[in-house]
Amino acid sequence: MKKIQHQINGKQFDQANATFQAVFNPATAQQIAEVALADTNVVNAAVSAALVAFDSWSQVSPANRAKRMFALHSIVSQKQNELAKAISLEHGKTHEDALGEIARALEVIEYATSIPSQLTGRYNSNVGPDIDTYSDRHALGVVAGITPFNFPAMVPLWMIPMALACGNTFILKPSERNPSAANMLAQFIGEAGFPDGVFNVVHGDKEAVNALLDHPDIDAISFVGSSSIAQSIYQRGTASGKRVQALGGAKNHMVIMPDADVRQAADALMGAAFGSAGERCMAISVAVPVGEGTANRLVDELKSRIESLKLGPSIDPSSQMGPVITQQAQDRICALIAEGETQGCKLVVDGRGASVKGYENGYWVGATLLDEVRTDMSVYQTEIFGPVLSVVRADSFEQARKLVDDHEYGNGAAIFTRDGETARSFAKQVKAGMVGVNVPIPVPVAFHSFGGWKRSLFGSHGIYGPEGIHFYTKLKTVTTRWPSGIKEGANFSFPTNSE
């Protein structure tokens, strides 16, 4: 049985007396590996290695840090098929979906290669009598990332390039459900010429997370996961003096106006709701058609598409959707569908009981369509994180937008319309951090930043892009004056810029 160990200080770290957790292939439900779960001693070893590496890495020029990023971009590009296969094997998503994840990760590495210009400071001469002022940004120190199962390469690479390019050293605690991608990233980072200890991987569960949150030598924590855990991470991390960005859950709505191309909207919803089996924090899980005619046409279009959707394992190139991650996830999703039916929604397409020939034991949930969903139903209030699309019918644009505004999550929202005034009003007024106009999954490109509102983000900074640079650096402002022209004698008044 394959044993997956930690990666610390540039090499495999074999934990003494380790506890191991099974790793499964979701398409077969068969165990394919086991991963070591770190205790506090392992976390301490990773922090020690990162601390030693920080002293020299933080002094490397931004231009030379960028050269390592160029090398990393090349290596990940060359080995993306290998990485995608590892992702699909442990996660279940299709190979093409895994390649898409890596493509978005490569964009962040590419953005990080621009770090010399991104860290350019400001300088002003003569802000006062013979006084000059300049400011620049400095690395924090040792930082850590705690990442989810649904994007085992992309989400870590939302964090790692930004943190390393800014001069920090990094400890990654990936999901123990699919840990192999993280170790592959450690290999690639080493091959790109990053010094030992600059990047480390610690596998584990709650004990490892708490050790990272409480360690006095870790300066910042990045987290992506559910809102309840994000809030806990934020509170515990900030209580121990850390800078924390904690991205939480979502219930993303897509409003379909009567003037929209309903067929185009249905095509967009298929990928946005059911891609990666709905296990995306930016998945559209609520469709909001405005008007009964729009709703009826949309449901008809979706029903025919869902019934022809191909469920299958990642090794089948014709598969459009794979399994969900675990048996527990499968049971939870199916229970929520049953609860929605009991509460009165209309079950248009039922994905429970789905099966794939030759893979009957896999964690399959077919694409599910629920109509006439109300806001008091659990399927509407809960982040299902599975291939379930709820249709909530609205009578007007104002009612549709209010649905988004009133929900506890504010990650993303989209609108499909041909009317510019409606689109502009929605984009300007809706209470969500990321908005799409005729774009179903509005994940920003790498030179912007990702982040939601309300209970979808705890902390002051979004992730990657300019927000990522600000999160992983601290500002220093220097005011200088040289002896020439300085008047003798003490001045007890508050300093000003007057002559």
The DSSP-derived string for 152-164 is TTHHHHHHHHHHH
The DSSP-derived string for 288-319 is EEBSHHHHHHHHHHHHHHHHT--B--TTSTT-
Element housing 144 (H / E): strand 142-146
Asked if residue 223 lies in contact with residue 247, where contact means CB atoms within 8 angstroms, the answer is: yes
Smallest CA-to-CA distance from 105 within 184, 177, 46 is with 184
**239 Cβ partners below 8 Å, 6+ apart?**
none
166, 281, 334, 345: the active-site residue: 281
b/e code 197-215 from CB counts within 10 Å (16+ = b): bbbbbbbbeeebbebbbeb
Identify whether 281 is a catalytic site residue: yes
Cα–chain-centroid distance for residue 470?
17
**102 Cβ partners below 8 Å, 6+ apart?**
76, 80, 83, 84, 87, 153, 154
Tell me, letter by letter, the H, E, C secondary structure of 47-87: HHHHHHHHHHHCCCCHHHHHHHHHHHHHHHHHCHHHHHHHH
Asked if residue 312 lies in contact with residue 441, where contact means CB atoms within 8 angstroms, the answer is: no
Residues comprising the chain, all counted: 499
Distance separating alpha carbons of residues 144 and 216, to the nearest angstrom: 12
Tokens (6 digits) for 261: 């191309």
Residue matched to tokens 């790498």:
446
Largest CA distance in the chain: 90
Asked if residue 388 lies in contact with residue 368, where contact means CB atoms within 8 angstroms, the answer is: yes
Query: Distance from first CA to last CA of the chain, Å, rounded?
Result: 76
Tokens (6 digits) for 6: 């930690």
Give catalytic residue positions. Answer: 281
